[in-house]
Amino acid sequence: MAARLEIVSPEGLRVDGRRPAEVRRVLTRTGVLSQADGSAYIEQGNTKCLAAVYGPREPVKRAGVLHDRATINVEYNVSSFSSGERRAKLRRDRKLLEIGLMIKQTFETVVATTSFPRSEIDIYLQILQTDGGAVHTAINAATLALIDAGIPMTDYVCACSAGFVNDQAILDLNFLEESADVPTLTVALLPKSGKISMLGLESRLHIDKLEPVIALASDGCMQMKDTLDEAIRISTRNLAKTVLH
């Protein structure tokens, strides 16, 4: 219980020195994989994610092909340095599949799939290193990779997490905070419309606390929108320089 009490110090600082409503430092790169149609790399704090997009392309398997739109497939993986017990591995694999499905459903609402009938778009997300916030980092990386692939979308999908501890909401939790049984909510937001496209809650959170946590996570999503915008601007400038020279 003491660990939870120290998530935010009496001076209002968290374990890593941030204020409650402060996101971690974010680094982005696009076009990092030459073989992919689109790719991106994001570091959010010490969490690192690589995203690769292939397609739209002809489906490998004809079964399940949609004649009026593209099928989106998402594969979400977390690098593991220990195989662990078989039962634990099965639980972990099931969890990864659930997260992949959740991310797939989120992007189905914004990708212009009807522009590419009878095709598929494959999104591969690899968490290379995790220090909390792996899911929202992966979603932001997927958005960048889809843009890098030139796949039309009606909006960005921007994501961030927030939690509730010591009677206050905290933004963008790291691993220590997530491990201290802090109720954590991951929000994916469509910034143009302000619509929430995904809510993922880890552990129970009282209904009275839900509104401030959603509000803070949504604010974090808008901060991520600015970060992704800047990443696209840099990528476009670099591409223009390459073409001109």
216's CB contacts (< 8 A; 6+ apart) are: 21, 162, 169, 170, 171
Instruction: Give me the DSSP letters along 126-165.
Output: EEEE-SS-HHHHHHHHHHHHHHHTT--BSS--EEEEEEEE
Tally of CB atoms within 10 A around 119: 17
Cα–Cα dist 125/204, whole Å: 27
Superfamily of domain 2-244: GHMP Kinase, N-terminal domain (3.30.230.70)
Whether the CA torsion 28, 134, 186, 177 is positive or negative: it is: negative
Report pLDDT digits (tens) over 171-193: 999 999 998 888 999 999 999 99
Q: Give the amino acid at 110.
A: V
The residue written with tokens 């949504």 in the block is: 218
pTM summary value: 0.92
Domain ranges of the chain: 2-244
* Residue pLDDT, tens place only, 211-223: 999 999 999 999 9
